[in-house]
Amino acid sequence: MNACILAVGSEMLTPFRVDTNSLTVTEQLNAIGYDVRLKAVVADDADELARVVDGALAWADLIVITGGLGPTEDDVTRDAVARALGTPLDIDERIVDRIKERFARRGLTMAAINRRQAMVPRGATVLENPNGTAPGLWLERGGTAIVILPGPPREMTPMLEAVIRERLAPRTAGAGLFRRVLKITGRSESDVDAHAQPIYGRWLSQPVPISTTILVALGQTELHLTARASNRADADVALDAAVRELQDAFGPAVYSVDGRPLEAVVGALLRERGLTIATAESCTGGLLASRLTDVPGSSDYVERGVVCYSNRAKTELVGVPEPLIAEHGAVSEPVALAMAEGIRSRSGANIGIGITGIAGPGGGTAQKPVGTVVAAVVVEGETRVRTFQFIGPREMVKFQAAQAAMNMLRLMLLKTER
């Protein structure tokens, strides 16, 4: 079953914005077996939208259109679809009444312009919008279903879920595409691909075939596995086996098999073991603490953090001896270790992390170029320190440094149990 997703709105054709509704729509359609073959952003222009809809009618089993249902002249979706189908538009007085009621509940009178939102291509079924004035529409033409939804995600998402449950899922009889995302950190993309390819290469010819895509994100490599199966249970069996094969191949480098970010994985390990953590950051400037505290409930294990950007702060906040900085430089393994040990002992937390480095663009030297980062982790009695060389601009260096430090901690925590 082939689907086409159209987002209507000239603002998404500027350099500043992307259409993100289509990601939600894709995920939901994939889950009931639709393959999205084309997605497009179309200007607020009835002729152009009608032309694109007309083109998609020739091949798509389903066309989902979001946006362009507001009350202004710029909102062309109703017109364009009616034109593509060669159907007149009628005013649906029940919709007018509902919009009037909606305004009345807030003590307002409906403006005349809102009557446009009650225009319906003849033959369409109206889809209720519990969160806004613009109703959605359902139409069929030949073998193609057309679903029209408003643009704001808060309105679009629940309406999409309803139309999938009530109208689309029954057509696809449970077959679908089911996905897993494995996240790997601490190994290069080419290394990951070289070791993964011989494994996932075999999956395509299984009874439940799985296709695999490798995506490189900052500080991690992702393996996206997509199984095509007639039901979720069959897909789960195949995907579970595939995930286990990759976990055997990559061992603890796989940090997530359910899409969770590294800070959530590390947080869960800390929670399970009843450990608390304190951080001392220089070049990451608080990003490590901020990522750790992005996880709901992290106040249970994040005791404190310090950002000791100046050398004076390193001495005052975590007790790094001035002569140590003078001898080795602020970006050095002895200083990172002193930061980790200092914040751990002063805070009384079980774990201390120290990060110091050169995020750039200034401050690099021949010995310590921009991107040099030293991370130290102290977990109760055990201590580890590593020097990394990251590439990219300032914010990328900060992210990779926080990622590497969290991964060092993760590997230490896993080892304490195994």
Please, which of residues 57-116 interact with a copy of itself by CB under 8 A?
58-59
Q: Work out whether 363 is an interface residue with a copy of itself (CB under 8 A).
A: yes
Q: Work out whether 289 is an interface residue with a copy of itself (CB under 8 A).
A: yes
Mapped onto helix, strand or coil, the DSSP state of residue 58 is: coil
Of 185 and 356, CB closest to a copy of itself? 356
Of 119 and 353, CB closest to a copy of itself? 353
Q: Which residue is associated with the tokens 């709901």?
A: 296
Q: Work out whether 41 is an interface residue with a copy of itself (CB under 8 A).
A: yes
Residue span binding a copy of itself (CB under 8 A) among the ranges 108-116, 201-209, 305-313, 380-388:
305-313
Of 49 and 337, CB closest to a copy of itself? 49
Other CB atoms within 10 A of residue 393 CB? 12
Interatomic CA distance for residues 374 and 379, integer angstroms = 17
Pairing verdict, β 125-127 and 119-121: unpaired
Q: Work out whether 306 is an interface residue with a copy of itself (CB under 8 A).
A: yes
Among 24, 230, 256, 383, binds a copy of itself (CB under 8 A): 24
Residue span binding a copy of itself (CB under 8 A) among the ranges 32-40, 116-124, 193-201, 381-389:
32-40
Helical residues (DSSP H) of 164-231, grouped into ranges: 169-172, 189-200
Two structure tokens written together for 66? 């979001």
Looking at residues 307 to 326 of the shown chain, list those that interact with a copy of itself (rule: CB under 8 A). 307-310, 312-313, 316-317
**103, 42 contact by CB (below 8 A):** no
Q: Work out whether 168 is an interface residue with a copy of itself (CB under 8 A).
A: no
Q: Work out whether 279 is an interface residue with a copy of itself (CB under 8 A).
A: yes
Q: Work out whether 294 is an interface residue with a copy of itself (CB under 8 A).
A: yes
Q: Which residue is associated with the tokens 């011989």?
A: 198
Rounded least distance, CB 120 to a copy of itself, Å:
26
CA–CA distances in Å: residue 364 to residues 63, 281, 371, 394, 400: 53, 18, 8, 12, 17
Nearest to 128 by CA among 90, 166, 91: 166
Looking at residues 320 to 359 of the shown chain, list those that interact with a copy of itself (rule: CB under 8 A). 346-347, 359
3-state secondary structure 141-174: ECCEEEEEECCCHHHHHHHHHHHHHHHHHHHHCC
Sorted by sequence, the CB contacts under 8 Å of residue 390 that are 6+ apart come out as 371, 373, 396, 397, 400, 401
Rounded least distance, CB 56 to a copy of itself, Å:
10
Of 163 and 287, CB closest to a copy of itself? 287
Q: Work out whether 272 is an interface residue with a copy of itself (CB under 8 A).
A: no
Looking at residues 188 to 247 of the shown chain, list those that interact with a copy of itself (rule: CB under 8 A). 213, 215, 222, 224, 226
Residue span binding a copy of itself (CB under 8 A) among the ranges 7-15, 74-82, 122-130, 332-340:
7-15
Rounded least distance, CB 309 to a copy of itself, Å:
5
Nearest to 225 by CA among 202, 252, 253: 202
**C-alpha angle 302-303-306 in degrees, rounded to nearest 5:** 100
Rounded least distance, CB 91 to a copy of itself, Å:
28
Rounded least distance, CB 129 to a copy of itself, Å:
20
Q: Work out whether 17 is an interface residue with a copy of itself (CB under 8 A).
A: yes
Of 251 and 348, CB closest to a copy of itself? 348
Interatomic CA distance for residues 210 and 181, integer angstroms = 12
**280, 392 contact by CB (below 8 A):** no
The 382-401 site mask, x for binding a copy of itself (CB under 8 A), equals ------------xx--x---
